Amino acid sequence: MLLAFSIAPSGPAADGSYSQAVAEAVRIVRASGLPNRTDAMFTTIEGEWDDVMAVVKQCVDAMAEHGDRVGLVMKADIRPGHTGQLTAKVERVEERLAADHG
């Protein structure tokens, strides 16, 4: 599965930034060893359901230390038997775009 998620505590730090709390969640994702990618809006993880959800739970638990509430948004692509989709989905689109210019 691919799971894209965005997570934040209920209230930002005194400087108005979530970056420290978000960095902690990204560290957890990267330490998991699962394929992942972080962009400005979401972090996407690829793996088996239980493995991916365990990482998300760790992120929620870590985020809870930064506020009394955690906001979590998730979007999943559950496609049994397929791996490498974190990059393959993008590559297929790029190939079609390149063909348009060829």
What domain range is 27 assigned to?
A: 2-100
Residue 32 host element (H or E): none
- CB of 4 closer than 8 Å to CB of 78: no
pLDDT along the chain (102 residues), means of 10: 94 70 95 96 97 98 88 95 90 91 75
Place of tokens 């992120």: 59
Closest CA to 63 of 16, 14, 15, 27: 27
Structural domain count, the chain = 1
pLDDT value at position 67? 81
CATH classification of the domain holding 18: 3.30.70.930
pTM of the model: 0.86
**3-state SS of the chain: helix, strand, coil percent to 5?**
45, 25, 30
